[in-house]
A and B are shown apart, each in its own frame.
Chain A
Amino acid sequence: MTDSEEELGLLETLDHLLDRGVVIAGEAVVSIGDVDLLYLGLNIVLANVDAIIRTSQPKLIK
């Protein structure tokens, strides 16, 4: 696998990790009267993706 393919694999892996799958966001529900106010637990991820070394590559066809 070339360096560019490894970089592509890393970006694709991070895209799937950070932006896919089931979102479990409702941490608590507070009700006022008959209205539920849903509190969303916001998960903020700040990562230096360039510095992460990919070791488990998905198969890629560019």
Chain B
Amino acid sequence: MKHVVIGAHLERGDVEPLAEAIPIADLWLSGVPIDDAQPLGDRELLLRVAQTRAALLDRATFIAIRYGFTAYGESDATGKCSAHIERWRRVLREYRGMVEMTLKVAAETPRARPDRHDFESGAAYIRALHDATRAAEVAPEFRNAVDENLAPLAVKHRWSARDTASLEFAALVRRESVSAINDAGIALKRDFPSIPFLLSGPWPLEVFADDHE
């Protein structure tokens, strides 16, 4: 028996009874128990983890751990997470009561993804892929509107290039500001009907989970 780990939490009560609570020092991991032989790609398991993740976020803010990490009990979990615990504690305390919202927007001039066959080395290909991703740009007037209307509602915000065709605006917001962010998104859709974008959330701490590193 092992656990698929969903996130790191400040309080045991943030986890139970929605998921199993695994202690790591004074913090807690949320986990879904599965048989050792169960494949992580099982669709029912993915669905179960997604449902539990959403329910946990309704309960309290937590640090999201990417799907696929498993632990065999307390000592295994503590050993694997020991390097993160001190930082997680600071992040969870500082950002308690906050969630993330993300806005993905299509690049104004999407770059073609480099073809691996055009490169003699893997390193050259990775560099070209990185350059193409960084070159993606959003229409300046749209980006300005996001910076002027959504960013002030956030405690922190960050633009990042996700791939060669889109950029993402991530915002750390207080829970009580989520509806205002959604209203600002509706206004953006009205003002920029031709620019494809997707505003979604709330999400657990994902982009801002690495703060204090």
- With an 8 A cutoff between CB atoms, is B134 at the interface? no
Whether B69 lies near A43 (C-beta < 8 A) is: yes
Instruction: Determine the distance from Cα of A21 to Cα of B197 in the docked complex, in whole angstroms.
Output: 22
- Give A14 to B187 CA distance when docked, in angstroms: 27
A4 to chain B, nearest CB (A): 12
* 0/1 string, B38-66, CB within 8 A of A gives 1: 00111100110111011100000001111
A32 within 8 A of B: no
Contacts A21-B206, A45-B40: A62 and B189 contacting too (C-beta < 8 A)?
A: yes
Q: Which of B7, B43, B68 contacts A51 (CB 8 A)?
A: B43
Q: Do the beta carbons of B182 and A17 come within 8 Å of each other?
A: no
A55 contacts the other chain (Cβ, under 8 Å)?
A: yes
Instruction: Determine whether A27 belongs to the interface, using a CB cutoff of 8 Å to chain B.
Output: yes
Across-interface contacts of B197 in A (CB, < 8 A): 62
Q: Please report the total number of A residues contacting B with Cβ < 8 Å.
A: 33
- Judging by beta carbons under 8 Å apart, are A20 and B47 in contact? no
> Given the known A-B contacts A13-B50, A43-B68, A61-B186, are A21 and B198 also in contact in the complex, defined by CB atoms under 8 Å?
no
Interface string of A25-46 (1 = CB under 8 A from B): 0110000000000000001111
B204 at the interface (CB under 8 A from A): yes
A21 with B68, Cβ < 8 A, contacts A8-B198, A16-B206 known = no
Determine if B80 is an interface residue (Cβ-Cβ < 8 Å).
yes
Q: Judge whether B32 is part of the interface by a CB distance below 8 angstroms.
A: no
**Cβ proximity bits B201-213 to A, threshold 8 Å, 1 near / 0 not:** 1111011011000
A1 within 8 A of B: no
B198 contacts A17, CB within 8 Å? no
A-binding residues in B (CB < 8 A):
5, 7-8, 40-43, 46-47, 49-51, 53-55, 63-69, 80-81, 83-84, 178, 182, 185-186, 189, 196-204, 206-207, 209-210
Known pairs A18-B66, A21-B63, A24-B80; A52 contacts B46 (CB<8 A): yes
Most chain A CB neighbours (cut-off 10 Å) among B8, B200, B202: B200
Report the 5 A-B pairs with minimum CB-CB distance, sorted nearest first. Answer: A43-B68, A21-B64, A56-B54, A20-B206, A61-B185
Nearest Cβ in chain B — how far from A36, in angstroms? 13
Assess A16 versus B198: contact at CB under 8 Å? Given A24-B84, A43-B69, A55-B51.
Answer: no
Which residues of the partner chain A approach B55 to less than 8 Å between Cβ atoms?
56
Q: Most chain-B Cβ atoms within 10 A of its Cβ — which of A24, A26, A55?
A: A24
B65 interface neighbour in A13, A21, A27, A48, Cβ under 8 Å: A21
